[in-house]
Amino acid sequence: MPTRILVPPGIGDIYWVTVKLRSMASKLGWKLPVEATVVSYFDKLDAHKRGLDFIRMYPELYTIGSPDCVENDKSCQAVWDEAYLGPGNSIFPGVMGYDYFIAYNGVINSGGYLETCDDFECDWRVPPVVRQAYPSKFMLCFFPFLGTYESHERDFPIEKIAGVLNEIIMLTGFIPIFLGGRTEAAYDTKQAELINMFPNAINLVGRTSLPKVMQLVDQASLIFGYHSGIPNLGAAMGIPTVLLWDDRYPASTAFACVPPEVRGSTYQPVETKGATSDKILKAISKARVHARPRIHPKFP
């Protein structure tokens, strides 16, 4: 029987597990692929299932369990607290009848680094995507204003975000493409307000699949917005990426979520508190200077 593991619901959260999985399987004697099931509180718009398509990007590492998602067992609250909130264990055996629950959120959010938190080696590679040609250069924008991100907007209001985006567009000519999930599409009125400030913007919030998004990430000239799974993947791929972080986490968290080779080069985090247009534009300039030449296939 395959090893059965529980993983968090977020794309970035699952990515951090994936970074360790090859080494983990080798050292613990697991046969790959393991069987992965998402554990999360269920959401009526299926936000708890957002990581399943990411798992499918790694057929050599994962198969999808049946059921593909299970709801958090409240009797395991101490496990969830340690996994998501603290610097303790990341691998929990025998949770909810599964062989293991694995999550590195607590380590990263407490200021730790994946490469030093245990004896398992990191493989940060993101699977290659099917190349798609695009007629224009564009930047991907990720600006939700719900939940966690409400504090970001208090530090750096929507008007300032719009001002920076306008400056980027004037300096580069990039077309802004906005990304997000079905939850943002249904409830995030502030994001809709921001998008409406840009008549030439392309709104893909809640309107496309992860494989299509990853094709866009692969060919983006810039990723700009709040930290989340897809922007983190773009950073890991070496795409020039500037992400805004608030101060709820240690400063190292902003760097620990991406591979060492992009930290401070193609990837530039900026703290929302005290952020200015100049700081963000300088970070974008640094990220683009360090970037390897992007391959933009000739559009037919």
Distance between CA atoms of residues 276 and 281, nearest Å: 9
Last residue of a domain, one of 66, 81, 116: 116
Residue 161 CA to chain centroid, in angstroms?
Answer: 20
The C-alpha atoms of residue 192 and residue 197 are separated, in whole angstroms, by: 9
Instruction: Label residues 84-121 b or e (16+ Cβ within 10 Å = b).
Output: eeeeebbbbeebbebbbbbbbbbbbbbebbbeebbebe
Domain with 168 in it: what CATH number? Answer: 3.40.50.2000
- 12 and 150 in one domain? no
Which pLDDT score is estimated for 97?
97
3-state class of 157 per DSSP?
A: coil
Q: Which domain holds residue 92?
A: 4-116
In sequence order, the β-bridge partners of residue 267 are 241, 263
Residue 25 burial (10 A CB sphere; 0-12, 13-18, 19+)? middle
Q: Note the pLDDT of residue 177.
A: 98
Same domain? For 172 and 233 the reply is yes
- Is the same domain home to 286 and 145? yes
In this structure, are 202 and 97 located in the same domain?
Answer: no
pLDDT score for 296: 42
**Which residue in 26, 102, 34, 19 sits closest to 65, CA to CA?**
34
Question: Both 193 and 282 in a single domain?
Answer: yes
Quick one: pLDDT at residue 136? 87
**Contact 138/294 with Cβ under 8 angstroms?**
no
Using CA atoms, how far residue 2 sits from 35, 59, 104, 156, 187, in Å, is 6, 14, 22, 47, 39
Q: Copy the structure tokens of residue 153.
A: 């907007």
Shared domain check, 47 and 91: yes
Q: What residues pair up with 5 in beta bridges, in sequence order? A: 36, 100
Domain total for the chain?
2
φ and ψ at 269, to 5 degrees? Answer: -80, 150
Tell me whether residue 121 is in a domain. Answer: no
Q: pLDDT tens track of the chain, all 300 residues?
A: 899 999 999 999 999 999 999 999 999 999 999 999 999 999 999 999 999 999 999 999 999 999 999 999 999 999 999 999 989 899 999 999 999 999 999 999 999 999 999 999 999 999 988 888 888 899 999 999 999 899 999 999 999 999 999 999 999 999 999 999 999 999 999 999 999 999 999 999 999 999 999 999 999 999 999 999 999 999 999 999 999 999 989 999 999 999 999 999 999 999 999 999 999 999 999 999 988 665 444 333
Query: Residues 161, 277: one domain?
Result: yes
Rounded-to-integer distance, Cα 222 and Cα 168, Å: 10
The answer to whether position 250 is within a domain reads: yes
